[in-house]
Amino acid sequence: MAEISAKTIQASLDDFRVWELGNKFLYELCAEYPDHKQDNVIIAKAWLIGRAYAAALERRKKVDAKGDAFYVGKLAPQIRNSEIDDWFGALRVDTAGSPTLSIKTHRNLVELLEAITGHAKRSFASKYLHFHFPEQFFIYDSRASVGLRRVMKMLGEKPSTYRQHFSDDVDKDYADFFVCCDFVSQKLSKEAGRELTKREVDTVLLAVSDGKLD
């Protein structure tokens, strides 16, 4: 496996550029429609982000509503009647970008989605939050998790070293992932000679997970 360097980081980012246009539309969608007061807005954001990022919310074992009926009759009204806009409002005024607030907000969304779908949709939750707040949330999924473990190994670090004793009001899997990503972000930024965004950190993790740095 190649070493992490400014060159390999840039190569990872260059390979990812083909996806930037598609992601741009998702960022713009969430920026133009940040709230959850209209069913069509809720459905558009959940549907497009979920499908684009292999985290569709309608994929669940217990199917009490399928397809359109799930989005229209279940997902949209339950999200609209939740406290999600209060959570998002707190994030908007958090100019310091508190990791604790981000991690707790992720837990809140996971619990809301679990009540709706019957599953802890932590991957979707991280992606949904990231597109609304790209500088406050790392993207979590199986590929990023594999990439994170490999990068930590390349850096001679163990993920367990950076795990913290969080209170019960967090999703532990995402909390541990977030803290380790924060550490890796600092290391990658130092190698790159500039501060990497959370999106760029995710891009490097995916490149490592896919073996592109081998």
* Domain residue limits, the chain: 1-214
Residues 6+ apart with CB under 8 A from 25: none
pTM of the model: 0.92
The better pLDDT of the pair 205, 214 is held by 205
What per-residue confidence (pLDDT) applies to 164?
Answer: 60
* Chain CA centroid to CA 77, Å: 23
For 108, 111, 193, the CA distances from 83, given in Å and listed in that order, are 9, 12, 40
Q: Quick one: pLDDT band at residue 169, thresholds 50, 70, 90?
A: confident
User: What whole-number distance in Å separates Cα of residue 137 and Cα of residue 199?
Assistant: 9
Query: What rounded mean pLDDT belongs to the chain?
Result: 90
Angle (CA) 163-166-169 rounded to 5° is 140
| pLDDT above 70 coverage of the chain, percent | 90
How does pLDDT run across 133-166, given as a tens digit for each residue?
Answer: 999 999 999 999 999 999 988 888 766 665 665 6
What per-residue confidence (pLDDT) applies to 58?
Answer: 82
Average pLDDT over residues 198-214: 91
How does pLDDT run across 92-127, given as a tens digit for each residue?
Answer: 999 888 898 999 999 999 999 999 999 989 999 999
What per-residue confidence (pLDDT) applies to 140?
Answer: 97
Residues 6+ apart with CB under 8 A from 70: 57, 58
The better pLDDT of the pair 176, 58 is held by 176
